[in-house]
Structure 1
Amino acid sequence: MNIFKRIFKIGEAQANKAVDNLEDPITMTEQGIRDMKADLNKSVEAMAQVKALAIRSKNERDEHESKAKDYESKAMLILKKAHSGDMAVEEADRLAKEALAKKEEAQQHANRAAADTEKFDKNVSQLKDTIETIKGNITNWENELKTLKARVKVSDATKNVNKQMAELDSAGTVSMLERMKEKVAQDEALAEAYGDLAKTTKSVDDEIDAAADMTESKLDDDLAKLKEQLGIKKDEA
């Protein structure tokens, strides 16, 4: 049936994680379940009709078997009457043959009805199996539909988030933020380098100034010159 082909396609798509290739997995699954329920109703109706035929065939079989037995009983009764002298032998034989012919005809009808009954009973059994299979499929796919709906919600949410992230990245926002982060890191490193350099330069200058400081020596020279101008000898001072 077409419905089973569609349902199996959905199952195959799920197994291969290719639900996106379907037009609408939820709608298709719901339609598939509705189709299976329609098939179930048709199967139940068909089984009821076949059951009715089986019952009718059984009744016909019983009826014709009863007739066959009745004709056989009548043939025996006629022969007994001829044997007891209540009926002419020739007439009894003729009527007994007619009764046996009727018995054979009735038995043939009974045999055909019995064959039909067996066939209809087999059809009923097959329809029962089909109905149980359809019921099981409906239950399974109704449960699967719940899972499928949940999966679609998660898939849609994930897809939307990923799409937003992709759009952000494509717009350059993420790249820009990464560049700004790198720039800040570079500025921090540069500032630290300048700080280290400033400390190093200051220490060297201090050492150089300390080593080249002539202030005290110049003051001593100036003092000596002033004393010399005043005529003050070094020893007197």
Structure 2
Amino acid sequence: MSFFSRIFKIGQAEAHAVADKFEDPIKMTEQGIRDLKNDLQAAMTSLAEVKAIAIRTRRDADNKRKLAADYERKAMLLLQRAQGGALDMQEAERLATEALSLKEQQAAESVRVAQEAERHEQMAAQLQANVNKIKSAVTGYENDLVTLRARARTAASTRKINQQLARVDSTGTLAMLEKMKFKVEEDESLAIAYGDMASAEKTVENEIQTALESGKSSTAAADLLELKKKMGII
């Protein structure tokens, strides 16, 4: 059992480790559980065999005890028949003595077999306790294995997220953002500059046009005045 205790101590110590560090403990635990189940099956087979022997032995002891009682009953019956004249008393006593001897043999054998049955029953009780312990251990390790697998999946997810975060260069990202900010500000400045230039060009052009138009108006007025003079209107 200490083997599995060490496995789960490793799992506890590696609670925040990456998933691949859990793979070996998981495989080892799975194999350990399979071995325990094989041991459980063998123990249950042995338990069934010992129980069967205990049952047969106990039954044999009971049969010998009953047989001893039967021999005693037969000895009494022989003496009763001799007393009633159905048998010769001397022959009846001889046969009764033989019956009582067999009774003693069966009684002694019954005691011996009963003691043997008791030993088998004690062994069966011991095996039953071991079977119960193995069953409990298998259940406990299977539950721990479920927890270990869940922790492995959590560790794998955490590792994946951390790897993704590790690939993000905060310095590079800030530099990129600063570069983009500078570019935006530069574009905004250029836009304002082009707007100012367009406004300035338009103003100069308007002034030139105004001056030209002003000159044209003056010339036209002088021509009109000259024409009036020629016509004698003035």
Mapping 1:107-122, distance limit 5 Å: 107-109=110-112, 111-112=114-115, 115=118
The 3 A distance-change label for structure 1 pair 94 and 196 is same
**122-131 vs 28-37, greater mean Cα deviation:** 122-131
- The size of the alignment, in residue pairs, is 220
Residue 72 (structure 1) shift: 0.9
Residue aligning to 2:34 = 37
Please give the secondary structure, in 2, of the residue aligned with 1:20: coil
Q: Deviations over 1:89-118 (max 9, x none)?
A: 998998777666656545545554555565
2:65 aligned with 1:68: yes
CA RMSD of aligned residues (A): 4.9
Please give the secondary structure, in 2, of the residue aligned with 1:60: helix
Which residue identity does 2:21 align to in structure 1? Answer: D
TM-score (normalizing by structure 2): 0.63
2:59 aligned with 1:59: no
Contact residue 50 and residue 123 of structure 2 kept, 8 A: yes
Q: Kindly, what percent of the aligned residue pairs are identical?
A: 12
The 3 A distance-change label for structure 1 pair 22 and 93 is farther
**183-192 vs 22-31, greater mean Cα deviation:** 22-31
Q: Deviations over 1:20-61 (max 9, x none)?
A: 279821111111111222222223333333333222222221
Q: Distance in 2 between matches of 1:102 and 1:211?
A: 152
Contact residue 64 and residue 107 of structure 1 kept, 8 A: yes
Which residue identity does 2:180 align to in structure 1? Answer: K
TM-score (normalizing by structure 1): 0.62
Mapping 1:41-190, distance limit 5 Å: 41-83=38-80, 84-85=82-83, 86-87=89-90, 105-109=108-112, 111-112=114-115, 115=118, 155-165=158-168, 169=169, 172-190=171-189
Residue aligning to 1:192 = 191
Contact residue 61 and residue 110 of structure 1 kept, 8 A: yes
Residue 146 (structure 1) shift: 7.9
The structure whose RCO (Cα within 8 Å, separation 6+) is larger is 2
Unaligned runs of 5+ in 1: 224-233
